Structure 1
Amino acid sequence: MTVIALASAKSSGVTTSALAMALSSARPSLLAECDPAGGTIRAGYFQAQITAGTGLYHLAVAERAGEDALAQAFASHLVRLDESGNRQVLPGLTDPAQAPALARTWPALAQVMRVLSDEGGYDVIIDAGRLALDSGRLHPTLTPAPLLHGADLVLLVVRATDQSLALARHLTEPLRNELTDRGTGADALGVLLIEDGPRRAHEVSDALRLPVMAALPWEPDTAAYLTDSGRAPRVRRKSALLGAARTALGHFQAAASRRTLHQQYPTAPPALPVQPTPAPAQLPAPAAPQVAGVLQRLGQGRVDPRV
């Protein structure tokens, strides 16, 4: 389906938004908590019921043993978000000091996520956390840069406040350049707006010179439930936030499909003869059998995704 990376200049609701999307997806979904500064889902949503023995850091250890070990570890370190097993999460780091160990793991992990999306039919949602720059580029240790490079869409999460826009503004041009040079193209970049503040979508778009691809309502009760496992809203299934998250995923899927079609079949000038369209360089290479085997492991025990 689609690989979507969410990031921010500062805490703007990235984890809450990512979790809302994963929970509300109509298709099988995977949330990968890949913030090098550390994950919060383990202590928040799961109320510390998941120990440090499960999560992202262990993939760095497995990757050094080879692709098959990484595939096995990836599947075994996922945690179910629902009873069906159609919605799962990879819990993040428990200590930011673990982040440097993942520098060589990010590219392999990006390939696994690509396989899950393209061959497994998953919506893959990456929580990339707060972005850090180094000489105008994504920091190699403080950001999961290869995951953003391989994503269909990279969404800068901002609140509808002047403060949030001021912090996000300095990231837009470096991100455009990064995705142009190393990712799937500058048009992969957009904004996910959190409607907590006075600014309208068109004002945010003008300020950042980026399209607002979707907006999520500010719903404190549901947000508290998702981030802190607080008291569940009485009508969670009718939550405006979860409903909007599901709609947003549909928008993102459509946008990613349009980008793929445009890359595969670019519009040729009418006066020129039609030439065979070469395969775009950013299309993923066929997955190694060991990596593709993660699909079989993930499929065990999964039920009909129409839940």
Structure 2
Amino acid sequence: MPVTALVSAKSSGVTTAALALALASKRPSLLAECDPAGGTIRAGFLEGQVGAGFGLYYLAAAERTGSNALAQAFANHLWGMDQAGHRKLLPGLTDPAQAAALVRTWPALSEVMHVLADEAGYDVFIDAGRLVLESGHLHTTLTPAPLLHQADLVLMAVRGTEQSLTLARHLIDPVRTELAERGSGPDALGLLLIEGGPYRAHQVSEALKTPVLAALPWDPDTADYFTNGGRPPRGYGRSPLLRHARTAGEQLEAASSRRRIQQQYPPRPANLQLAGVLQRLTERGGPRG
């Protein structure tokens, strides 16, 4: 199953989108709240049920002990988000100052999440927060760069507004280059459109020269519940956000499967002689009877 990292140029609903995808998944799912700026789900959606002594920060010390200790700590710090325990959360940092301690932990944590996806069949979603660049590359402290490098898909969340597209436009090429040089390939990058603005998917894709792999509707009632907690809105389980998140999850799985097939079976080398014949036929309008 795919490991999907979600990012944004600025606040574009990354956490809400990641939470919706994890809750709507048709398989067991994990949402890892890995935003170095700090997590918001424990104080919002979970309404303080999870204390500060639980979550991502404590994996750093475990990783220094060894891979087995990290795997055990990872399992111990997962929080169930549904009664059946099929939807799990790795709660994020409670203080952005903790981010520096995780710089060397990200690569090993990425491997743990890929094992969970590949061996246990989980859909894994990573809330990687806002992208920060340094000298044209992902900032080593303010972004969890190794998680993006190793992800099956990297989704940049954008809104269909001029402001959102302008902010994203400056990041697309550096991120694509980073994934080409240090990650799983430039084609890992795609867009997650948060609808509600004037621009549609094909316009957003054309403007950013990047495919829109999935879209989610602007659903303020459900978004507010995810952000602030409280009583679920009426009809929450059939809300537009969750219904479209199920479809989006299927689209992301299909996109990841296509990438894996293309990586396993690269394009056949071009036959230059045959290409020349076909070009000549095309130029003169095809064979004549």
Q: Deviations over 1:201-236 (max 9, x none)?
A: 111111111111111000000111111113311111
Match of 2:9 in 1: 9
Match of 1:242 in 2: 242
One-letter amino acid of the structure 2 residue matched with residue 153 of structure 1: L
Q: Deviations over 1:149-193 (max 9, x none)?
A: 111100000111111111111100000000001111111101000
Report 1:132-211 matches (<5 A).
132-211=132-211
CA contact (8 A) 1:60 1:105 kept: yes
One-letter amino acid of the structure 2 residue matched with residue 62 of structure 1: A
* Residues 133-142 or 226-235, more deviating: 226-235
Match of 2:216 in 1: 216
Match of 1:230 in 2: 230
CA contact (8 A) 1:224 1:230 kept: no
Pairwise CA distance, 1:50: 0.7
1:156 is paired with a residue of what secondary structure?
A: strand
One-letter amino acid of the structure 2 residue matched with residue 166 of structure 1: T
1-side partners of 2:103 and 2:85: how far apart? Answer: 29
Report 1:93-112 matches (<5 A).
93-112=93-112
Pairwise CA distance, 1:269: 2.8
TM-score between both structures, scaled by the size of structure 1? 0.87
1-side partners of 2:230 and 2:154: how far apart? Answer: 29
One-letter amino acid of the structure 2 residue matched with residue 201 of structure 1: A
CA contact (8 A) 1:10 1:130 kept: yes
Q: Which runs of 5+ in 2 are unaligned?
A: 273-289
CA contact (8 A) 1:78 1:91 kept: yes
1:60 to 2:25 alignment? no
2-side partners of 1:270 and 1:2: how far apart? Answer: 31
1-side partners of 2:248 and 2:183: how far apart? Answer: 22
Structure number with the higher helix fraction is 2
Stretches of 4+ aligned residues off by more than 2 angstroms: 269-272
2-side partners of 1:233 and 1:100: how far apart? Answer: 38
Higher Rg: 2
One-letter amino acid of the structure 1 residue matched with residue 8 of structure 2: S
CA contact (8 A) 2:47 2:230 kept: no
2-side partners of 1:46 and 1:178: how far apart? Answer: 34
2-side partners of 1:103 and 1:61: how far apart? Answer: 12
* Residues 225-234 or 165-174, more deviating: 225-234
Classify 1:270/1:174 alpha carbon distance in 2 versus 1 (closer, same or farther; 3 Å): closer
2-side partners of 1:79 and 1:35: how far apart? Answer: 17
CA contact (8 A) 1:32 1:92 kept: yes
Q: Which runs of 5+ in 1 are unaligned?
A: 273-307
Pairwise CA distance, 1:270: 6.8
TM-score between both structures, scaled by the size of structure 2? 0.92
Count of matched residue pairs? 272
Pairwise CA distance, 1:148: 0.3
2-side partners of 1:147 and 1:68: how far apart? Answer: 19
2-side partners of 1:202 and 1:149: how far apart? Answer: 27
1-side partners of 2:27 and 2:174: how far apart? Answer: 33
1-side partners of 2:204 and 2:230: how far apart? Answer: 31
